Structure 1
Amino acid sequence: LPKKTQRTSSAVWTVHFGYDNNARPSLDRLASVLDDTNADVIGLLETDTAKPFFGNNDLTSYLGEKLHMFIDFGVAQHIGKRGSRSIRGTLLYMAPEILSSHPYDNRVDLWSMGIILYECLFGRSPFVFSSADELVEEIKSNIPIEIPNDTRISSECRNLLEGLLQRDPNRRISFQDFFRHPFIFIDLSFQIIRADDLFQRSITYEQRGDIKKALDYRVRALDEYVAIIKVDEDHDRKRMLRMKVKEGLAAAEILKKRISQMNLNSASASTTVSSSTENLDLKNNKELFQAYQHCLNGNQLMNIARFSQACEEYQIGLTVMLRAARTETDPVKSKILHDVISFYLNKAEICKDKNEAQQLDIDIEKIKEDTALDNTMLNESNFITERQQRASSHQNCCLQ
């Protein structure tokens, strides 16, 4: 071997390199595995067992559905919303954020998928290295991954590979867009049925008077429709979906106003109880003092519209307070503690509503941005078509 090597798994060499159709079936299989985990497992594609299956037609054909059980081999890690900092997995397939000791989440598997796809397409790793230390520096580098200009690779495949191999996880393709990508997902019929079902549920909840659920399902349906518009080649259906999204956004804004009015009425009608802790002797109860501080932190975060973090602070504080209330024997202190708990439970409920509303606002704005981009692209496309038609007409006139 030369001093500098571009290492790849030996099993990957069974693929006919440069033809993305040969890689697509195996990629679909791994995508199915990722989909089954509900994006809640980390490091699934960083195990040694995952790489040999990709491109090894004999093994994948033999294992079939058993691939789902075998691929992990006990190395994958379940994570919560806070992510992880521990290093695990095969070095070559590790995402930059893992090796940089930054907090990371399940998006590391999207990077691993990109490395695997790159190997299958070009027969080598995207990194040139002669030692583990050099490999680590290559992965952590800020230089964009260079994808060879191979005419045998489709534009859809190249687009997906570029999205997967973004070093910054915030710029990397999302799980949602990955599963919707035209290189992965071609038949839109199921996605359209799912979007229609979400839309119908929204209408049902609105008729029942559950406005919050109605808005939630409406936004989810619109998000699905926008995703379909991005990849659909049926122009008549795209036109119909654009109209549906436009009307849906208008309806979503009306639902938002109704929810805001409901929250306003609820807040004004809520019972006012004391939050004074004067007689609780917090100085001599460190745990209760810290719990109360968490609730005060929640107040401050809520005042600056950081509702998600505020909810976490309220939850931490209230958990400790509720535990203390169950063991408090002094009637006076017990009454004060229950009043404080009631006060912050009410605050936490309001904060939760505001957090949900804020998230829905973000989702709606994202849909609006995508819709605006789609309209811009549509206008550009129409302009090009009109220009071509004028050029053709001018040419015909000259010929006449």
Structure 2
Amino acid sequence: MSLPSLKDYSLIEKIGSGSYATVYKAFKKGGSREVIAIKCVDKKSLSKSAVDNIVTEINLLKVLNHDHIVEMKDFFWDEGHIYIVMEYCDGGDLSNFIKKRHKLSENICSRFLQQLALALRYLRSNNVSHMDLKPQNLLLKTKPALMLKVGDFGFAQHFSDTEQKCVIRGSPLYMAPEMLLRHKYDTRVDLWSVGVIMYECLFGKAPYSSSSFQELAEKIKACKPIEIPKGSHISNQCRDLLMSLLIHDPEKRISFEQFFAHEFLDLEHAPTKESYEKSMKLSQDAVKMDSEKNYKEAFYLYCEALRYIIPHLKNEVDIKRKSALRLHVNNYMQRAEKLKEMSYDTCEIEASKSNDKVDKIHVLKTAHHENTSFCSKELRGLSKSTPSIANALEIGEIGDQYFSEGNYALALEKLQSSLSIIVPLLSKEPPGRRRDLLYKQVQLWMKEAESIKGLLATINLQENNVQKTSDSIEQCLIQ
């Protein structure tokens, strides 16, 4: 079958097709020969609603501009067709990406979900709902780095958070229950779709995979519980987000604000222009505090800077910039470790001044309370009458001990476990000395937990680099 002939573009091959449109890989004649994609829409096959969808898609793509949304470069028409010229995504779509790999690792899933969330946050800021989120409409670019981009805005609508509609739009398998059952719905339908996409990424199939629309509708009507496939293991953070998205009742489903703030996505540290600027500011502040001998604050700032820099290092493709970022990461990690050692050395010096053996142990833990996060003797005493708080403080102190020994993974686990108990209790704690000390302790442990995340991210990065180098050497030896 011959390819269509266009005056200004050379079509190379067909790369996709739908009910009324075909997509071709192409390049513009006489220019830079940049590869692009052209969506050719057959006017004769268009119903009135399909025409409305095309008009909506063009109008939206004219104004939407985001790294994780497919860019429309131009559009034109002739007697028989409408042509939409878009950026070319060489990695195909997420659906094929999943099928080739059967299922995706949690790390890859979190990366794609983070990029999708960035696009959705931008769309929400413009009061736009996509209404047809599914793996087939999430395109991938592999050069210069793997990147997800939201495409196909044919069903998208300008849609404020307070509006409600009842027209069915999208694909049944990814459609929110309230839409599928023809109830009134709002922007939260996109969040259900994200949950289905996330489930499919992790387990290789949609939660309500069905052989027919009727079977799917019956499962939705019955509010059949979403189950994690047997033998599958995902982190608590991942499970929490997944189950918060796949809630049948939209009133109980996670909100957009909660979704964007969820720890599994960690949008705060995503590799954006804003986070890069923040990493540079934190780095400068850390060096300043260090030079002023405010070592405690310098330590926290170095660790926080690492959390912002590392995603950029992973994402960077320019060799020189990547090398510069890696140097920053190594320097900040080494200095943070040195500052931690200095802090504990100071504590040991204080402890050595005591003649009493028992007191020496206590001093070793508490002499520098203002410079570490060890629980104070007074707070422990005030908490003896409340076993839940006393136990939580003990767990936190164990986390501190792991931290001092450099066992960061266990330290973070213990601190998070302690905080998960103390924080809810703190909200019910009556005013008084114990509440003040608990609040101070919570702030210190939260800060320490965030610092540990920066250290762990750096260690994981270094271990991955060592593994890649080892694999490369082994491959060379095999050859």
TM-score, normalised to structure 1's length?
0.48
Per residue, is there more helix in 1 or in 2? 1
TM-score, normalised to structure 2's length?
0.42
Per residue, is there more strand in 1 or in 2? 2
